[in-house]
Chains A and B, each alone.
Chain A
Amino acid sequence: MDDSNTILEVSHISKTFRSKNIFGRTTSEVSAVNDVSFRLQKQRTFGIVGESGCGKSTLARLVLRLIEADGGRVMYQGHNLLALGGEELRKLRRDIQMVFQDPFSSLNPSMTLLDNVAFPLWVNGTSKQDGRIAAHRYLEAVGIPRSSAERYPQSLSGGQRQRVAIARALVLEPKIVIADEAVSALDKSIQAQALNLFHELQQDFRLSMIFISHDLHVVELMSDTVMVMYLGMVVEVASVEDVYAQPYHPYTQALFKSTPSMDVTHKKLDGFKLSGELPSPLNPPSGCRFRTRCPMAMETCAEHMPELIEVGDGHTVACHLYGEADVARRAI
């Protein structure tokens, strides 16, 4: 990976949520994101997959500082976003915008569509009038005509709302858009249109994207590089071709085998199924967090947390099976 092409570099970011009793003593801890690092390439899409609760959304919010990280760095344009404050942070954060999961909660119901989109400009010092003119442009870019810009979110369908949310994310002319399960709440037919819209906008606005989803098909379609997460940890990172063709980590392999096939002649899920429940992040397993459900768990898995090891060009895996770099892939 070429450094000059990296637009955003996240390194060793962690977040543990603590619930405290009234005396301020920690009663329980949830390790939501643990030591995650990745790089986003310019005008590429970085996909993040994993089951619900694996820390994907928390990771996105940590990058944007909607949640404060416990440690780590987010390097953007030579600055560590996590260490900045005040005006500098405000300026840089404009470049990274997010499209949220729930189209029914992501728009302000008391504002018109136009004002919802114009609001980010207003708070950055644009006049009401100029903000609305720009908002019209972006609403048109996502396919909401000028004539319905004065409507309220309540009278729109989920797909239409998500378009408005996309327009709002674009209005600040960001360099990076984080889509957090941005199409998960939509019907399949509308999902496809939303994905196409993302593709087109990415071209038109030269965006770099972080695309978060639990849907493997969606991530495959959208991403150049894919990161698989399990219980707050990275288990595998690879180009989309590699990870779908040759998954190394037992979890990644299991995940792909449990995807329903779109092929009608192919009725059953083949082969291996993940047994057991996702362990509680309140009390994650020692060592490798996947070991409790892993068919290939070994003694060492309980004792040591596996490091990310490079197994191919830009393909890294965190698993004790691949202790030495040249060990061949093992299918479960």
Chain B
Amino acid sequence: MEANLDAMASPGAFKEDSPYRKALRAFVKNKVAFPSFVFLVGIVLATTFAGVLTPYDPYQGNIANRLQPVGASGHLLGTDEQGRDMLTRILYGGRLTLLAGFVPVVVSSLIGGTLGLAAGYFGGWLNTVIMRTLDIFYAFPAVILSLGISAALGQGMTNIIIAITIVFIPPVARVTETAVKRIRGREFIEAARSSGAGHLSIIRYQVVPNVFPQVFVFATTKISLGIVIAAGLSFLGLGVNPPTPEWGIMLNNIKQMIFVKPVLTIVPGIFLFLTSLTINLCSDGVSDAMQIKA
């Protein structure tokens, strides 16, 4: 039987890497994304181990030592208006800011992903109910909506995280729904159905693995937006109470010194900028590595 089947014949013999392993290799080779990723990991580790890294207390300052310039001896990034070490407060404050970027993305991906999956897979009235309800949220720009929600919920970092989560659910759901709908029409879904597979195993083995990369890439593009919105809401006073350090409120507190020590006032901003920039570069790298258009 084999003899006359040569042209269709056997693909060359080797064990192929899984798509994820291939993507990982491409990501590590990326000359922009991978260094960005290393930088990000550095920031995350530095904020996590802030207590070990800095000798100063983020709450206790020496008023006589206030507004030391960037590069002052003993204070690498200077001191703030109350004489507290800026780098120390940046590191401690980064914990909350990063948390407010990552947590809403993770939670909204789970909720929005599930909604989009259900809507896209089952279609019909369920799709109409879910997707049209979520469309209501599109009437408001993300920043305004999160501002409104967190203002309604009241001050506090938890409420900011809830607000950003709610804002991120509709876009994640929409991306998931579109991806699921496209996979749903493929013949391997029909093949799975005719082999007797139930909805749950079709979703788990045939649908989710094929939409996950797309939803994952989309979610990564939202992390930096989450951080910026969180810092923005906190800047407006909807986040933590002083003296708790957080990048947004630090930016607010030190802004009065813009004519006295202009360089000092942009330090928290620089960190916000670098973090969200590197996150975006990583996200681009992930999308290239997985060969997905975000």
Contacts and interface: CB of A to CB of B under 8 A. Distances in A.
Nearest to B16: A151
A106 B191 CA distance: 7
A190 B186 CA distance: 23
A110 interface: yes
Contact of B210 (A101, A110, A147): A110
B20 to A, nearest CB: 9
Contact of A143 (B9, B13, B188): B9
B130 to A, nearest CB: 16
Interface string B261-282: 0000000000000000000000
A130 interface: no
Nearest to A67: B190
A48 interface: no
Nearest to A201: B1
Given A111-B205, A119-B197, A193 B8 contact: yes
A124 B196 contact: yes
Given A160-B8, A200-B1, A100 B187 contact: yes
A119 B11 contact: no
Contacts of B11: 144, 148, 151, 155-157, 160
A276 to B, nearest CB: 31
A106 B198 contact: no
Interface stretch (A2-10, A89-97, A250-258, A263-271): A89-97
Contacts of B19: 109-110, 152
A107 interface: yes
A168 B194 contact: no
A281 B188 CA distance: 27
Interface string B179-198: 00000001110111111111
Given A119-B205, A148-B13, A155-B11, A97 B196 contact: no
B201 interface: yes
| Chain B interface SS verdict (over half) | loop
Contact of A64 (B186, B194, B209): B194
A194 interface: yes
Nearest to A144: B10
Contacts of A119: 192, 195, 197, 205-206
Given A98-B194, A150-B15, A107 B8 contact: no
B206 A108 contact: yes
Interface residues of A, number: 53
A156 B10 CA distance: 9
A159 B8 contact: yes
Give the residue among B19, B187, B193 with the most A Cβ atoms within 10 A. Answer: B187
Give the residue among B9, B10, B195, B205 with the most A Cβ atoms within 10 A. Answer: B195
A143 B1 contact: yes
Contacts of A172: 195
A19 interface: no
Contact of A155 (B5, B16, B190, B196): B16
A141 to B, nearest CB: 9
B259 interface: no
A191 B130 CA distance: 45
A122 B196 CA distance: 10
Interface residues of B, number: 33
A148 B13 CA distance: 5
A272 B125 CA distance: 50
Given A90-B196, A124-B195, A66 B10 contact: no
Nearest to B189: A108
Contacts of B186: 105-106
Interface in B149-188: 186-188
Interface in A126-166: 143-145, 147-148, 150-152, 155-157, 159-160, 162-163, 165
A32 B147 CA distance: 53
A307 interface: no
Nearest to B15: A150
A143 B10 contact: yes
Nearest to A139: B10
B21 to A, nearest CB: 11
Interface in B201-236: 201, 205-206, 209-210
A100 B190 contact: yes
Contacts of B4: 193, 196
Interface in B32-66: none
Contacts of B205: 108, 111, 119, 122
B3 to A, nearest CB: 10
A121 to B, nearest CB: 8
A66 B193 contact: yes
A156 B8 CA distance: 10
Nearest to A197: B5
B187 A101 contact: yes
Contacts of B2: 143
Contacts of B13: 145, 147-148
Given A93-B196, A111-B209, A165-B191, 10 more contacts: A90-B196, A94-B195, A105-B188, A108-B188, A145-B10, A151-B16, A160-B8, A160-B9, A190-B7, A193-B5
- List 10 A-B pairs, minimum CB-CB distance, nearest first: A147-B13, A120-B195, A159-B8, A110-B209, A106-B187, A123-B197, A100-B187, A151-B16, A90-B196, A148-B11
15 contacts: A66-B194, A93-B194, A105-B188, A106-B191, A119-B197, A120-B197, A124-B195, A143-B5, A143-B10, A144-B10, A148-B12, A156-B11, A193-B4, A193-B8, A197-B1
Interface of B: 1-2, 4-5, 7-16, 18-19, 186-188, 190-198, 201, 205-206, 209-210
